[in-house]
Amino acid sequence: MKQWVDAFRDSLMSRVFIILAGIAATYIAVGYGVAAYYDWPVALHTQLYSNAMKYGTMWFVLGLISYRSFYIMIMIRPQRLTLTILRDLRDNYFTPQKIAQGIPVVLLFAMMFSVFTSFKSMIPEINPFSFDPLFAKIDAALHFGHQPWELLFPVLKIALLTTILSFIYKTWFVAKFCVLYWQAFSTRNPNLRAQFFITYMLVWILNGTILATLLSSAGPCFFGAVTGLPDDPFAPLISFLHQSNEIMPVWDLFAQDYLWNAYEDHSITLFSGISAMPSMHISLSFLFALLGWAHGRKTGIFFTVYLVLMMIGSVHLGWHYAIDGYVGMAVTYVVWKLVGLALKDRSEAGAMDRVPAGCSRSSE
C-alpha cells in the first residue's frame, strides 16, 4: 500500500503535473468568467466527458490486455501462458508508477475537454461567424484561383473513396484518446511525455479557444447558412456529399446536422460547438506526427500518413478551408518547439545546479 501512496504522491507533485494542473485551472476559471460576462444561458460543464473517458479507459485497458495476450501467445509461446501474461501485465504495465502517473492526467484532461466543448459552443456568442468569406478567398488565392476541394475532386469524386475518408476522419476521436492514454501511462521518455502533454494542452487553448474565437468561422459545410451569400463556392461539394450518401454512407453529414442543431438550440453536448479556424483535427494530427517521429521512424511514418489523410478529409468532407489546417500546423509546431526548448533549458539548469561542490562547471 505504501508503494501506491508514494507513487500517487510523487505523480501529483511532479513538475509536469503541476504545470498541467495550473494551466487547466486557469483555463477553467477563465471559462466560467467568460460565461458569466456574456450571460451564457447554459451552464458550463466540467464533467461532460466523464462517461466517455470512463468507457474510453475501459476499452483502452481491454485493448492492451488483448494485445499483450495475443503477442505472448503467438510470438513467445510460453509453457505457462496464463501466468506469463499476468506477470507481463503486472511487471510492465499495471505498475504503481504507471497507474499513479496516468490516472491524474486522464482525469485532468476529462475536465479540460468538457470546458473546451463549453467554450467552443460560446464562440458565436462572443464573436459571430464572420471570417468565412475571407478564408474562402485566401484559399482560392493560395491554390491557383481554385478552392482546394476542386483540386481534389477529380480523384475523390467516387462514393467509395468518400466513405473511406469519412470513416478515417471519424477515427480522429479515437486517436486523440488513444494517444492521450498512451502517453499518460508511458514511462519510456519523461521529457518527451512532458513536452507532448504541455503542447497538447496549450494547443487546445491557443488553437481551439483563443484563435478560434478571434477568427470565428463555421467552415465550408456551413458557408451558405452563416454568410447568406447567393454565390456559395462549396455548394457543389455539399451536393456531391449528399448524393454520395445515397450510395454509401457519409457519416460527416450526420455530424454536421448534429452540430448545427446544437448551435441553433444553444446547447452544450458531447462534441458540440462549431469552429473551423484553426482546425483542431489537423493541429492534433500534426502533433501526433511530431510525437511519432520523436519516438521512431515507423511511428512517425504512420502518423504522417494519418495527418495527410486527415488533411484531405477535412477539405473534401467540407469541414475546413485548407488554411485552417495550415494555420493549425504552424501554431502547433511553434508551441511544440518552444515547450521543448523551455523543458531543455530547465533540465540543463537543474543539471548545473546539481554539480557537486568543489567541481568547476567549466571542467564538465
Domain count, the chain: 1
pLDDT value of residue 357: 45
**Is residue 256 situated within a structural domain?**
yes
Write down the pTM of the prediction: 0.90
The Cβ of residue 243 has, within 10 Å, a number of other Cβ atoms equal to 12
**Is residue 101 situated within a structural domain?**
yes
Cell of residue 235, nine digits: 455548394
**Is residue 265 situated within a structural domain?**
yes
**Is residue 352 situated within a structural domain?**
no
Residues 6 or more apart whose CB falls under 8 angstroms from that of 165 comprise: 156, 309, 312, 313, 316, 317
CA distance 206 to 223: 24
Nearest-CA neighbor of 315 among 84, 79, 147, 91? 147
- The whole-chain average pLDDT of the chain stands at 89
The Cβ of residue 294 has, within 10 Å, a number of other Cβ atoms equal to 16
Domain that holds residue 275: 2-346
Residue-wise DSSP of 273-316: ----SS-HHHHHHHHHHHHHHHH-HHHHHHHHHHHHHHHHHHHH
**Is residue 355 situated within a structural domain?**
no
**Is residue 31 situated within a structural domain?**
yes
| pLDDT tens-digit map of 43-87 | 566 666 777 777 778 888 888 899 999 999 999 999 899 999 999
Nearest-CA neighbor of 131 among 270, 271, 285, 327? 327
| pLDDT tens-digit map of 260-277 | 998 888 777 777 889 999
